[in-house]
């Protein structure tokens, strides 16, 4: 029996001979799995770097190539020319009210406009006046009273007039008369 014990090494236990090779095999599988993960990451990094380098190269080629982009033709309005005043006829509009007695707005105004656009205003004046009258009839007295009311009417009139004389535009509106009755 002494001989049997001498054959066995003191560090090994019975049945540990089978466990030794199993530990070595699982260690090799772990190293292979880790090396595959590392290779996968390395391949991914290289692929991303190639995409970035190739994308930059293509972009540089396109930007530095000899072809020039075609210039877009833009139809610009004619220059306004010297600023002049254009007077509109007197406007008398009845304001919206819930009562039988209506309030009236009487106003005279002129617009500051470039000389090149006065002809467009003259040609479109009937349509402009119709648009102004329809718009003013949608207001109530409290909408046009005071500084805020003046500003609102000026802004709205500017929009109406500019819409009719496109691509031209007016520079401003000056009231000669603005009376609420």
Higher per-residue pLDDT: 134 or 68: 134
pLDDT at residue number 96: 82
What domain range includes position 148? Answer: 83-180
State whether 33 and 106 are in the same domain.
no
* Domains contained in the chain, number: 2
pLDDT at residue number 34: 60
State whether 46 and 99 are in the same domain.
no
Q: In the numeric block, which tokens belong to residue 100?
A: 């039988």
| Structural domain contains residue 7 | no
Contact 112, 170 (CB under 8 A): yes
What pTM value is reported for the model? 0.55
Pairing of strands 91-94, 104-114: antiparallel
State whether 88 and 68 are in the same domain.
no
| Structural domain contains residue 53 | yes
Average pLDDT over residues 24-45: 67
| Structural domain contains residue 89 | yes
Residue recorded with tokens 């190539």: 65
Distance CA 59, CA 66 (A): 13
pLDDT digits over 39-63, tens only? 788 888 888 888 888 888 777 777 7
State whether 118 and 151 are in the same domain.
yes
3-state secondary structure of 175: strand
State whether 58 and 95 are in the same domain.
no
State whether 114 and 150 are in the same domain.
yes
Average pLDDT over residues 145-150: 90
Contact 71, 136 (CB under 8 A): no
Contact 48, 56 (CB under 8 A): no
pLDDT digits over 119-128, tens only? 889 999 999 9
Assign residue 130 the CATH number of its domain. Answer: 3.30.479.30
At residue 131 the predicted structure's pLDDT band, cuts being 50, 70 and 90, is very high
State whether 51 and 140 are in the same domain.
no
């Amino acid at each position: 029996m002494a001989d049997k014990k001498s054959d066995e090494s003191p560090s090994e236990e019975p049945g540990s001979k089978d466990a030794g090779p199993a530990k070595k095999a699982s260690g090799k599988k772990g190293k292979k799995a880790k090396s595959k993960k590392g290779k996968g990451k390395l391949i991914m990094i290289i692929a991303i770097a190639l995409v970035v380098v190739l994308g930059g190269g293509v972009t540089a080629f396109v930007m530095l190539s000899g072809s020039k982009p075609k210039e877009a033709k833009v139809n610009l309005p004619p220059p306004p020319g010297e600023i002049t005043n254009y007077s509109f006829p007197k406007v008398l509009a009845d304001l919206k009210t819930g009562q039988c007695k209506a309030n009236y707005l009487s106003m005279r105004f002129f617009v500051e406009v470039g000389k090149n656009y006065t002809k467009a205003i003259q040609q479109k004046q009937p349509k402009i006046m119709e648009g102004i009258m329809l718009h003013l009839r949608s207001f109530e007295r409290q909408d046009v009273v005071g500084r805020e009311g003046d500003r609102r009417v000026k802004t709205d009139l500017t929009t109406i007039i500019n819409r009719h004389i496109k691509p031209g535009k007016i520079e401003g509106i000056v009231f000669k008369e603005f009376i609420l009755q």
